[in-house]
Structure 1
Amino acid sequence: MQLLDTITDKFSSANVVMKMIYITAFIFLISLLLNTVSFFFNSHGNFLINWFALSPNLDSFLSKPWTILSYGFLHDGFFHIIFNLLVLYYFGTLFLDYFNSKTFLNYYFLGILVGGIVFLLSYNFLPALKSRNALLVGASAGVMSILIGLATLIPNYAMRFQWIGFIKLKHVALFVVILDILQIPMGNAGGHLAHLGGALTGFLLTQYFPEKKSQKSKNVFFSRKNKENNLKTVYKSKKPVNSTFKKSEDQQKIDHILDKISKSGYEALSKEEKQFLFDFGKK
C-alpha cells in the first residue's frame, strides 16, 4: 500500500507532461506483459493492439472509432517508446514555459488525431499504399505537434547538444521533418505521413490560432534580433523618454542578457540572470 501511495502522490504532483509520460509508459508495460502471455499460451494476440491500434481498414475503424486517439498510447518496441518519451519530456517541458497545460493537451491530442486521419487517408486513397496492410501505433504525431508548434513560436531558441554545441530550434524541427520525408519510401510510409500530419498541426495551431497561446510571462528567451518585436512590452516605459537619455541600469542589463542568449542560448544564463529576466517580465 505504501508503494501505491507513493506512486499516486508522485503522479498527482507531476505536471501534465510527466503525467502523459507515466500513463504511456504504464500502458507499454501492460502491453509487454500481454505479449509475453500471448507468446507462452498461444493466445489470440495482444488485446491492447487488437482493440486500440489504428487500422487503415475503414470497416475496422468504424467499428472501433476510439482508435483514432488510442493508438497514440501504444508503442511497438523499447526504442520506439524511449525515443518518443525522451523527446516529449525535453520539448514538452520547454513547451510549458510558453503555454499552459490545457494548450499542451490541445496540441498533443490534435496532433495524434490529425496524424491518424492522414494515416487513414493515405492507405485508402494513395495507390502505392492501397494494397498494403499496417497498424499505426505511437505518440510520434503528438510529439511532432508539440515540437513543431514550439519551433514556430521560438524558432531561434538555442539548445545545447552534447558533442554538437548549440543548435537553433528551427533547425532541429527542419531536421526531423526532412528525416520523416526521406524515410517514406523506406517503409512504414503511413507512419511517417502521420508524423508529418502532427507536425502540420503544431505549425498551424501556433501560426494561425494565437489566441491559444498562454505564456507564463512576457519573457522571450531566444534571440537578440527578436528583442524589439517580442520584448518591447517588457521594458516599454509608460512615460515618454528622451532618446538622448542614457539607458537605465535595468535596460542595460536586459541588453547584456539578450546578447548572452543570442550567443550561447538561455541555458548559459546564471541563476541570478534568469531570475532577473523573469522578475523584470512581470513588471
Structure 2
Amino acid sequence: MTKKNLLEELKYKVFQSGNPVFFYIGVNTIIYVAVALFGVTYFLAGNTHMLFLNYLSEYVAFPAALPKLPYRFYTILTYQFFHNDIFHVLFNMLWLFWMGRIFLDFLKPRQFHFVYLTGGVMGAIIYALAYNIFPAFASSVYAATIIGSSASVMAIAVATATLVPDYSISLMFIGNVKLKYLLMAYIVFDLISIASQNPGGSFAHLGGALLGFAYIKVLQGGTDLSKWLEPKPKLKVVKNDTPSKGGAKNKSTKVNQKDVDAVLDKVSKSGYDKLSKEEKEILFKASKD
C-alpha cells in the first residue's frame, strides 16, 4: 500500500466513513500530534521555562475557578480533545475503540456523538462543583484545570455496560469478564483515587459515568435525548420497479431500514438478550450491508 493510499484510507475512516469511533480517535490523535510537534518548535525557539502544553492549557483546558468561566466557557468542549502525554491519549483511545465498537453494535452514531460530548460536559461540571464545594481544594481551585477525553470515554463505556451488562470481553491473564463487573471495578478505582494526585480526573470520570448511565436508563424508559440530532429525511423521487427479462420484478436484498430501527429500539429498551432469533438475524444482515 502506497503512502498516498494509506493517507486516503485514514482520511476516509476518520472524516467520511460516518463511524464516530474512528472520528474521535482520529481527531484526538491529530490534535495530540500537532501540539507535540509544535511543542518541539516552541522549545527550540528558546522557551525552555515552560512546556508548550502548559502555555496552551491557559486557553483550552477547563478551569475549576468559577470566575474564569464567563470568558473561557468554550473550554467545556475544547478540554475534551487535548491530552497531557502519549500514555494519556493512548489509553483513552484504546478504551474508546474497545467500548465504542460494542456501543455501535446496538446503538446509532448520533447517539454515540451525544453521549461522548455530553459525557465530557458532565465530567467538567462535576469537576468544577467538586473543586468549589469541598474544602480540600480551597487552596488550589483558582489554578486548577483539567484536560483529556477521559470523561467522554467513560460515558461511552458506562452507557455500553448499562445497555448490555452481561456482554463479556476477554482480558489477558483474566479471561472473559462481563462489562458490568469491569466498569464497577473502574468506578471503585476512581472513587479511591479521589485522594490521590489527580482528584480532578477522578471527579470528571465519575461525571462521565453518571451521564452514560442516566442516558441509557432514560432511553430504556422510552425517551431518546439524542433524537434532536437525527437528520430530517429528504424527499426522494421513487421510480416503479421495472420488470426483468423473465417478467419478474427486481427485489432488493437489503434489510428494511425500518425493521433495523425497530430492532435497535428494542435493544435500547430491553437489551440484546431479549431479541428473538429473527430479530438477531435482522441485525446480522444489516451489519453486512
Task: Provide the TM-score with structure 2 as the length reference.
Answer: 0.73
Matched, 1:8 2:18: no
| CA distance 1:28–1:226, change in 2 (3 Å) | closer
Give the share of equivalent positions with the same residue, in percent.
31
User: Which one of the candidate residues 184, 204, 207 is aligned to 1:197?
Assistant: 207
Other-structure match for 1:80: 88
Kept in 1: contact 2:84–2:147 (CA 8 A)? yes
| CA distance 1:147–1:5, change in 2 (3 Å) | closer
| Cα distance, 1:119 vs structure 2 | 1.2
Structure 1 residues without counterparts, runs of 5 or longer: 237-273
Other-structure match for 1:231: 275
Other-structure match for 2:116: 108
Kept in 2: contact 1:99–1:216 (CA 8 A)? no
User: Which one of the candidate residues 280, 284, 287 is aligned to 1:278?
Assistant: 284
Matches within 5 A, 1:247-258: none
Other-structure match for 1:37: 41
Cα distance in 2 between the residues matched to 1:218 and 1:8:
31
RMSD after superposition = 3.0
Cα distance in 2 between the residues matched to 1:13 and 1:166:
31
User: Which one of the candidate residues 140, 144, 147 is aligned to 2:157?
Assistant: 147
User: Which one of the candidate residues 163, 175, 197 is aligned to 2:173?
Assistant: 163
Cα distance in 2 between the residues matched to 1:185 and 1:37:
36
| Cα distance, 1:235 vs structure 2 | 5.9
Cα distance in 1 between the residues matched to 2:95 and 2:211:
17
Matches within 5 A, 1:253-264: none
User: Which one of the candidate residues 127, 135, 138 is aligned to 2:145?
Assistant: 135
Other-structure match for 1:182: 192
Cα distance in 2 between the residues matched to 1:179 and 1:108:
21
SS of equivalent residue, structure 2 residue 169:
strand
| CA distance 1:31–1:226, change in 2 (3 Å) | closer
User: Which one of the candidate residues 125, 128, 132 is aligned to 1:117?
Assistant: 125
Other-structure match for 1:209: 219
Structure 2 residues without counterparts, runs of 5 or longer: 228-259
Cα distance in 1 between the residues matched to 2:139 and 2:165:
40
Cα distance in 2 between the residues matched to 1:97 and 1:5:
26
SS of equivalent residue, structure 2 residue 209:
helix
Decide which moves more: 33-42 or 139-148: 33-42
Cα distance in 2 between the residues matched to 1:276 and 1:201:
30
| Cα distance, 1:183 vs structure 2 | 0.8
Cα distance in 2 between the residues matched to 1:141 and 1:151:
15
Decide which moves more: 44-53 or 55-64: 44-53
Other-structure match for 2:71: 63
Kept in 1: contact 2:92–2:149 (CA 8 A)? yes
Equivalent AA in structure 1 for residue 162 of structure 2:
T
Cα distance in 2 between the residues matched to 1:95 and 1:206:
11
SS of equivalent residue, structure 1 residue 167:
strand
Cα distance in 1 between the residues matched to 2:272 and 2:37:
50
Other-structure match for 2:21: 17
Kept in 2: contact 1:69–1:116 (CA 8 A)? no
Cα distance in 2 between the residues matched to 1:8 and 1:85:
17
| CA distance 1:226–1:6, change in 2 (3 Å) | closer
Equivalent AA in structure 2 for residue 184 of structure 1:
I
Count of aligned positions: 238
Decide which moves more: 152-161 or 30-39: 30-39
1:187-243 alpha-carbon deviations (Å, 9 max, x no partner)? 11121111101001100010123332898673899xxx985xx135x569xxxxxxx
SS of equivalent residue, structure 2 residue 106:
coil
